[in-house]
Amino acid sequence: MTPESEQKIKEVFEKQKAFFKTNKTKNIEFRKEQLRKFREVFLNHTDALCEALDIDLGKSRKEAEYVEIQIVSSELDYLLENIDEWAKPTPVESKPHPSGAKIVSKITYQPYGVNYIIGPFNYPVQLTFSPLIGALIAGNTAIIKPSENTPHVAKVIEKIIDEAFDESYVKVFQGAIEENTLLLSLPFDYIFFTGSPNVGKIVMKAAAEQLIPLTLELGGKSPTIVHKDADLDKAVSRISYGK
């Protein structure tokens, strides 16, 4: 990593910190407007994403559209449909004040701030953009590092983000261990990692050292137990479908 690349990462991080402090992301209409714009740009790159998924992972067009593109698109629609209701303060019961005065308590939902999202290689579109749109609908900003193991997909992801957002709101940085180590050293407000347990331990250690809350979505081999009384034809069909 060059000194210029390191400086750029730190510069964008500070930009996002400053932008979050303006409170613009707390406006519900701003969030919806940004995600509608993202949806349009994202779908316009369907062909490019499918082609990249084929090159990097050998995914067919049908599979790419079904498990990568459509899932993100459907989730976007669901988020946009429900954000107004989700964002409303929730009333909760309160103990009466000793003076007899009425007390009204409610839970208000606040964004964390600047999020760091680390994408995986196996579902590089779905598992990068799903946590992103979740972060944005909740009022956060985000820095994304796609997997270096799917370079063609990563380039399309970066192109989509650059077209849809200002870097003070969402930005992609490419790279591998060196870039990830630098990013994990920054005082993010939340980290979302999808990947292996071994790397998850590294991410969790870095987060713990700065008391950063995080989500670890860790992969596995997903073993299946087929019991003696199972319908073997149905079991085979379901297992192979999932695989």
Q: Is the pLDDT of residue 226 over 90?
A: yes
Question: Could you tell me which of 205, 141, 193, 209 has the C-alpha nearest to residue 170?
Answer: 141
CA distances from 115 to 65, 68, 111, 142, 239 (A): 27, 22, 10, 5, 35
Q: Is the pLDDT of residue 222 over 80?
A: no
Contact 206, 185 (CB under 8 A): yes
Render pLDDT for 58-113 as a digit per residue (tens, 0 to 9).
Answer: 999 999 999 999 999 999 999 999 999 999 999 998 888 888 788 889 999 999 99
CA distances from 51 to 47, 87, 102, 126, 164 (A): 6, 37, 62, 15, 20
Q: Is the pLDDT of residue 149 over 80?
A: yes
Residue whose entry in the numeric block shows the structure tokens 């991080």: 13
pTM over 0.85: yes
Render pLDDT for 161-183 as a digit per residue (tens, 0 to 9).
Answer: 999 999 999 999 999 999 999 99
CA separation for the pair 28, 137 (Å, rounded): 8
Per DSSP, 68 falls in state I
Between 44 and 1, the higher pLDDT residue: 44
Least confident range of 70-79, 133-142, 211-220: 211-220
